Chain A
Amino acid sequence: MKRGNIAFFVLMKIPQFFFAIFVILSILFLVRYYMSFRTDVRATEMELQANRLLYSPACLAYYDDRLQRAYPGVVDSRKVNTLQLDSCIRYGERNDFLAMKISLTELDGTPLKEATFNEPGIRAWLPRLNRQGPGGAGGRQMRRPVLYRDNGEVIPAVMDVLAIMPN
Chain B
Amino acid sequence: MRSLLKDKRGAEEDTLSWIIELGLIALLFTTMLMLVHEVRTSTILEKNYLAREFALLLDTVYASPDSVKYVYDGDASDFIVAFEENRVKVREERDTLSKEYWFADAGEGPAEEELTHPDDVVFIERARKVIVTDDPNANPAFSGAGRPVLLPANVTGVMQYICMVAPLYNVPGDLMLALAQKESGLSIDALSGDGGVGVFQVTNTACDERSLMDGRVLEPLASWTDNVECGIQIFRNKCLISPGCASGAGRRYCCRKRPTDSWSACLCDSDGCSGTIMKDVMYTGYDIGLRGYNGWGCSAALSSPAPYHTPEVTAAVQAYVEGVRTYEQGFQGTCASLGVPG
Q: Which residue of chain B is the closest to A69 with respect to CB atoms?
A: B153
In angstroms, Cα B17 to Cα A70, docked, is 80
Q: Which residue of chain A is the closest to B36 with respect to CB atoms?
A: A31
| A72 surroundings in chain B (CB, below 8 A) | 65
- Decide: A28 near B31, CB < 8 A? Known: A35-B39, A58-B106, A67-B188: yes
Instruction: Please pick, from B16, B32, B152, the residue contacting A69 in the complex, using a CB distance under 8 A.
Output: B152
Question: Is B329 close to A, CB under 8 A?
Answer: no
Shortest C-beta distance, B85 to chain A (Å), equals 6
Shortest C-beta distance, A91 to chain B (Å), equals 5
Q: Which residue of chain A is the closest to B125 with respect to CB atoms?
A: A56
Q: Which residue of chain A is the closest to B15 with respect to CB atoms?
A: A1
| A41 surroundings in chain B (CB, below 8 A) | 52, 56, 101
- Decide: A37 near B45, CB < 8 A? Known: A48-B56, A67-B188, A91-B86: yes
Shortest C-beta distance, B123 to chain A (Å), equals 14
In angstroms, Cα B134 to Cα A52, docked, is 25
Question: Is B48 close to A, CB under 8 A?
Answer: yes
Q: Is the CB of B31 within 8 A of A91?
A: no
Q: Is the CB of B28 within 8 A of A24?
A: yes
Stretch at the interface among A5-13, A106-114, A121-129, A132-140: A5-13
| A87 surroundings in chain B (CB, below 8 A) | 107
Shortest C-beta distance, B11 to chain A (Å), equals 9
Shortest C-beta distance, B320 to chain A (Å), equals 28
In angstroms, Cα B55 to Cα A92, docked, is 14
Total interface residues on B, using CB and 8 Å? 48
| A6 surroundings in chain B (CB, below 8 A) | 16
For A76-95 the 0/1 string (1 means CB < 8 A from B) is 00000000000111111000
Instruction: Please pick, from B13, B17, B44, B86, the residue contacting A90 in the complex, using a CB distance under 8 A.
Output: B86
Q: Which of B20, B63, B85, B105 has the most CB of A within 10 A?
A: B63
Instruction: Please pick, from A9, A17, A35, A56, the residue contacting B64 in the complex, using a CB distance under 8 A.
Output: A56
Q: Which residue of chain B is the closest to A71 with respect to CB atoms?
A: B65
Q: Is the CB of B153 within 8 A of A90?
A: no
Considering only residues 80-130 of chain B, those with a C-beta below 8 Å from chain A are 85-86, 101-107, 110, 128
Stretch at the interface among B221-229, B249-257, B277-285: B221-229
Question: Is B213 close to A, CB under 8 A?
Answer: no
Question: Is B313 close to A, CB under 8 A?
Answer: no
Q: Which residue of chain A is the closest to B20 with respect to CB atoms?
A: A13
Question: Is B62 close to A, CB under 8 A?
Answer: yes
| B222 surroundings in chain A (CB, below 8 A) | 66
For B114-150 the 0/1 string (1 means CB < 8 A from A) is 0000000000000010000000000000000000011
| A1 surroundings in chain B (CB, below 8 A) | 9, 12-13, 16
Shortest C-beta distance, B77 to chain A (Å), equals 20
- Decide: A20 near B153, CB < 8 A? Known: A5-B9, A56-B64, A89-B104: no
- Decide: A52 near B153, CB < 8 A? Known: A24-B27, A24-B31, A91-B86: no
- Decide: A58 near B64, CB < 8 A? Known: A39-B49, A68-B153: no
In angstroms, Cα B104 to Cα A87, docked, is 10
Question: Is A51 close to B, CB under 8 A?
Answer: yes
Instruction: Please pick, from B52, B65, B102, B107, the residue contacting A61 in the complex, using a CB distance under 8 A.
Output: B65
| A142 surroundings in chain B (CB, below 8 A) | none
Q: Is the CB of A45 within 8 A of B59?
A: yes
Shortest C-beta distance, A36 to chain B (Å), equals 7
Q: Is the CB of A67 within 8 A of B224?
A: yes
In angstroms, Cα B107 to Cα A24, docked, is 52
In angstroms, Cα B28 to Cα A73, docked, is 61
Q: Is the CB of B107 within 8 A of A58?
A: yes
Q: Which residue of chain B is the closest to A23 with respect to CB atoms?
A: B28
Q: Is the CB of A38 within 8 A of B48?
A: yes
Q: Is the CB of B59 within 8 A of A17?
A: no
13 residue pairs bridging A and B, Cβ less than 8 Å apart:
A9-B17, A10-B16, A17-B24, A27-B32, A36-B45, A39-B48, A52-B59, A52-B63, A56-B106, A58-B106, A66-B222, A68-B150, A69-B65
Chain B interface (Cβ < 8 Å from any Cβ of A): 9, 12-13, 16-17, 20-21, 24, 27-28, 31-32, 35, 39, 42, 44-45, 48-49, 52, 56, 59-60, 62-66, 85-86, 101-107, 110, 128, 149-150, 152-153, 188, 222-225
The 7 A-B residue pairs with the shortest CB-CB distance, nearest first, are A52-B63, A70-B65, A92-B86, A1-B12, A87-B107, A20-B24, A58-B106
